[in-house]
Amino acid sequence: MTTFGAIGLLLVLKGIFSVMAYAVSLQTHEIGVRMALGAVQNDVLRMVFKKGLALIATGTIAGLAAGWL
């Protein structure tokens, strides 16, 4: 069971990384404009993490709801 749990955790982490990488690749233009207008690195990181946490929260809620049903 531990092995299956570890494999599942690795698959989830890979999925989260892939979705975040895709989301950031779609925002490269916006990030460039923000940096050109004077945004500091912490502002850009905060923006990326905020959108990432929103994706994770949505997936968690949907997964819990599907599991409950």
Q: Domain count of the chain?
A: 1
Average pLDDT, the chain: 90
Residue 63 has what pLDDT?
87
Structural domain range at position 59 = 16-68
Name the pTM for this structure: 0.68
34 located within any domain: yes
4 located within any domain: no
9 located within any domain: no
CA distances to 37, 54, 64, 68 from 49, in Å: 20, 8, 22, 28
Which residues of the chain register pLDDT less than 70?
Answer: none
